[in-house]
Amino acid sequence: MSQRPTETNSAGGASLFRVRSLRWRIQIWYAAVLATVIIAFGSVLYILHRTNRFHEIDNELSSAVEVLTGQLRAANSQTLDAFLHGGPTSAASTPELLQAIEKLNADLRVPSTFAPRRIAHPFEAPYFAIWRSGGQLATLSTSEDIGELNPPVIDARALAKRITYRDRGLFREAYAAGPEDSTVLVGRYIGPDVRDIRNVLFLICGTGTLVFAIGLVGGWIVSAYSIRPLLEIRRVAADISERNLADRIETERMDMELADLANILNDTFARLEAAFQRQKQFTADASHELRTPLAVMQMHQQLALAKQRSPEEYREALETCQHATQQMRQLVESMLALARADEAAGAGNQEPFDLKPLVEECLAQTQPLLDAQQTHIETNLAAALVIGDRNRLSQVITNLLTNLTVHCPPQTAATITLAAAGDRVELSVADNGPGIAAEDLPHIFDRFYRVDQPRSRQAGSVGLGLSICRTIVESHGGTITAESSPESGCTFRISLPAATSDPNAEQ
């Protein structure tokens, strides 16, 4: 219980960092990726440039060290010994030896392997130094102020590397072990090189910043273009209202993924528009149907109250009002039945059952009406398993049988056939009545549509029975059709999915 506030606070804190704008989220991710690429590319470019520049410097210094070391090794041993110790060290010294020492000292100079460069100050010139084995300085090629120059330590690691490098402030130096345990060092001022490397770094940073800024602007434009279809979808969806259901999303220039989404929404809008149209038409038709009996009642009530009437006239007026009331009640019940059928489409108590007993039960319930019309029913029923709602399918069969007493003349013969055909169950009700006109046949399942309006109204039909049948059958995954030709009767066919007799298969 004590952790719940912490979790809530944590979730609230996380939501603060969650960008809910798709465009901003795309822009942030794009900026992160672009910055990573620019930083990585700039870093690699800077490191490569710095490494190459120091590699060039080191090559110059190492070449100079090798040249100087080679000059020392090429010298005569007595001359070298005398040179390293500052003069002749034995009595065998001769003027020739002193001359050789001077010549060697004059020949030692910074080799021409250094690339020519402009030197602003004398201390920027390359220099070299040679130390004796004891660490005493034997010679130094420059008299300029180059800072404190200490002899490098030649240890086992330095010996293994042959030439070792060190940085001394803005001086880069290379050194190696020379003959007679001497140490040869060559160095040069690298201030211009460091400034050049720094300038390259500034150039990379500036170029990267400029590219990043241009990339952000371009990304913002691209993201705006990318989400434009989504904004169009949002605009159309926001404009959709009860009074404006005809707008659709243009999908011709959309990308395939968004076009699929837009097509789904357009289909949804189309179904929504059709539903609203059906509702409006239903309301208008219902109002029209209710207006007639109400007008009849009002007229007979006014006539009855206009003057003194005989008891027979009052009775006749009351009977007329009662008939109109029964019409309104039947209309309301039919409308409620249709509304329930619409609401329960796809739902209901779905269970497998044999349709044959249900047809026989409906036939028994309507038999009194059929007998009153002297309607002869012939049955040809076979066992047929379906999955569905018994009560709702019973209403369909009852409506079809009741229509025989409403739309067919007395002594009509009808045949009810029930059979299983593959994975379908076919139920047909065929009669030899007057049939349905070709111009009426496409509309008989429309709501409030009557083939013979005066006769249907007199018989109590409100024009909703077949609409209710179609709604219920389609909610079971089936179809209902009507076939008719003039003076040859009419046949209604219902096709429903068949259920297997294996209970495991149903699961």
* CA distance readout (Å), 405 to 106, 134, 448, 468: 138, 134, 18, 18
The mean pLDDT of 108-124, rounded to a whole number, is: 73
Q: Is the pLDDT of residue 503 over 70?
A: no
Tell me the pLDDT tens digit for each residue of 367-382. 888 888 899 999 999 9
Look at residues 255, 205, 211, 210 and name the one whose alpha carbon lies nearest to residue 232: 255
Look at residues 441, 445, 425 and name the one whose alpha carbon lies nearest to residue 484: 441
Q: Which parts of 94-153 are beta strand (E)?
A: 127-131, 137-140
Q: Kind and range of the H or E element at 177?
A: strand 171-177
What is the rounded average pLDDT for all residues in the chain? 82
**Residue 484's pLDDT band (cuts 50, 70, 90):** confident
The mean pLDDT of 462-480, rounded to a whole number, is: 85
DSSP 448: T
Give this prediction's pTM.
0.53
Tell me the pLDDT tens digit for each residue of 163-183. 899 998 899 999 998 888 889
Quick one: pLDDT at residue 90?
56
Q: CB of 69 within 8 A of CB of 98?
A: no
Quick one: pLDDT at residue 247?
78
| Percent of the chain clearing pLDDT 90 (strictly above) | 23
3-state SS of 187-253 is EEECHHHHHHHHHHHHHHHHHHHHHHHHHHHHHHHHHHHHCHHHHHHHHHHHHCECCECCCCCCCCC
The mean pLDDT of 193-222, rounded to a whole number, is: 93
- The more confident residue out of 440 and 9 is 440
